[in-house]
Structure 1
Amino acid sequence: MIPASDAFSPPRLVLFDCDGTLVDSQHHIIAAMRQAFAAFNLPEPAADDVRRLVGLPLDVSVRRLLEAGAANADQVVAAYREAAFSMRHRPDHEEPLFPGLRDVLDKLEADGCLLGIATGKARRGLDATLAMHDLVNRFITLQTADIARGKPDPDMVFRAMRETGATAGSTVVVGDTTFDIHMARNAGARAIGVAWGYHDPAELMQAGAQTVIRRFSELPDLVQQLFGRDR
């Protein structure tokens, strides 16, 4: 249940990206993308090119990777989804959590923060990732690219704020790509970058992140410092 809040104290909301922020899913994403391209005899996309696009809506990523006129993007998108679904159910499938996440979620909740996710994943993929790591009940709002406009559009942040009663001033987005940072800033929220993901920390700062953390353990105190400025 979302806690009640008076007019002077809106809920504090911490919105996390998923891929590259909570879990290291790059190998799974790259493999699924390459399998989708191979299904249409298309040149294999470079790993760095795929990694750079993680976080964008899938159809946007595919269109950016495709050569003009090379294939029907919708068919490649469908092939990616099929490949990702199949891979996710293999015994050797891995999308490891980044170190320290569980302790940080506990600390943020103890500090009175609401937790949410805003991701370029589809809801089916997000649900599978959360279930894999026993995180299904840890987040109060789940925003995905199949129910909202994708990053860097601020729609997911706006939806999360409406669901929780948070305001732009009481919301922080945590992410590893410039798409996350731009989404946050476009919504009027603040953004914290993480250094272990798929875009360089210098890019995150240039995009407008308040700071970039090197380990999850830095996050709770930093969030409290940011929110404390508004007291």
Structure 2
Amino acid sequence: MIELAVLDIAGTTVEEHGAVYVALEEAVRAAGGHPSTADIQRWMGAGKREAITALLTEELGGAPEAGTVDNAVADFRGRLDAAYTDRVPTPLPGVPQAIATLRAAGVKVALTTGFDRGVTDALLAKLGWDDRLLDAVVCVDDVAAGRPAPYMIFRAMEATGVRDVGRVLTAGDTVRDLEAGTNAGAAIVVGVLTGGLDATELGAARHTHLLPSVADIPALLSLSGG
């Protein structure tokens, strides 16, 4: 039986209209980079500091100065906050109900994200999501490395007291989400089609299931109310 569902945030449980990748591209361009759509897509699901550093490194042909990265990260956060203020993120259809169904069946639910804690806390506050809905929230700055490393999944297991990866389900809308689930050895690695990738693009990564949405996970697990 699955004891823990580890779910990504942006594009997986939350509709934020792609604002994160617009803000990422704009911040990198403002710092002197010229990323293509493919460049940005390649870093979907990654920690945003890591993505900004890598995109600027590719542009400059060498590692950017720490101050340049710090400024770009701060710029990204400001642009994202403004975007979220202008168009407030919302739960994807059926997701709060799916989370409630999972928890009612005894499955703990944790969120993981490539956002840092400050961005994540602000986003979840806009949604009104707290420990009444979730068992744990793990951010990229809580671990040594973001996706595709499995560390956020392991931290979620630690936070919820789940010891067996054979009882863990992971779900996300990016290739890096699926790679992290696979690298963790999760029993079920779900790709959901609510983000920016279609079934062909997302399905190219190793997975156990592709689903239209997180809302379909209770039915996958044959839980009542799915």
Q: Under TM normalisation by the shorter chain, which class is it?
A: 0.7 to 0.9
Q: What does 1:99-110 correspond to in 2, within 5 Å? A: 99-110=93-104
- Mark the CA change 1:207 to 1:156 in structure 2 (over 3 Å): closer, same or farther: same
- Pick aligned residue for 1:37 from 7, 19, 28: 28
Q: Is residue 139 from structure 1 mapped to residue 138 from structure 2 by the alignment?
A: no
Instruction: Measure how far apart 1:34 and its partner are.
Output: 3.7
What runs of 5+ residues in structure 1 fail to find an aligned partner? 1-8, 226-231
Q: Is residue 111 from structure 1 mapped to residue 105 from structure 2 by the alignment?
A: yes
Distance of 1:146 and 1:71 partners within structure 2: 20
Q: Is residue 165 from structure 1 mapped to residue 156 from structure 2 by the alignment?
A: no
- Pick aligned residue for 2:44 from 43, 54, 61: 54
2:198 corresponding residue in structure 1: 200
Contact 1:176 1:199 in 2 (8 A): yes
- Mark the CA change 1:203 to 1:37 in structure 2 (over 3 Å): closer, same or farther: closer
Contact 2:171 2:189 in 1 (8 A): yes
Distance of 1:224 and 1:116 partners within structure 2: 20
1:153 corresponding residue in structure 2: 149
What runs of 5+ residues in structure 2 fail to find an aligned partner? none
Contact 1:191 1:209 in 2 (8 A): yes
Instruction: Measure how far apart 1:103 and its partner are.
Output: 1.2
SS in 2 for 1:79: helix
Instruction: Measure how far apart 1:188 and its partner are.
Output: 1.0
Distance of 1:197 and 1:180 partners within structure 2: 12
Distance of 1:73 and 1:117 partners within structure 2: 32
TM (norm. structure 2) is 0.83
- Pick aligned residue for 1:218 from 183, 195, 216: 216
- Mark the CA change 1:216 to 1:36 in structure 2 (over 3 Å): closer, same or farther: closer
Q: Is residue 72 from structure 1 mapped to residue 64 from structure 2 by the alignment?
A: yes
Could you list the runs of 4 or more consecutive aligned residues of structure 1 that deviate by over 4 angstroms after TM superposition?
none
Seq. identity, %: 28
Contact 1:32 1:80 in 2 (8 A): no
- Mark the CA change 1:183 to 1:38 in structure 2 (over 3 Å): closer, same or farther: closer
RMSD (CA atoms): 2.5
Structure 2 letter corresponding to 1:131: A
Structure 2 letter corresponding to 1:53: W
SS in 2 for 1:146: helix
Instruction: Measure how far apart 1:204 and its partner are.
Output: 3.4
Query: Residues 120-162 of structure 1, C-alpha deviation per residue, up to 9 Å, x if partnerless?
Result: 1111111111111111222212111111120011111111112
- Mark the CA change 1:174 to 1:87 in structure 2 (over 3 Å): closer, same or farther: closer
Which sits farther off after the overlay, 160-169 or 71-80?
Answer: 71-80
- Pick aligned residue for 2:12 from 21, 24, 27: 21
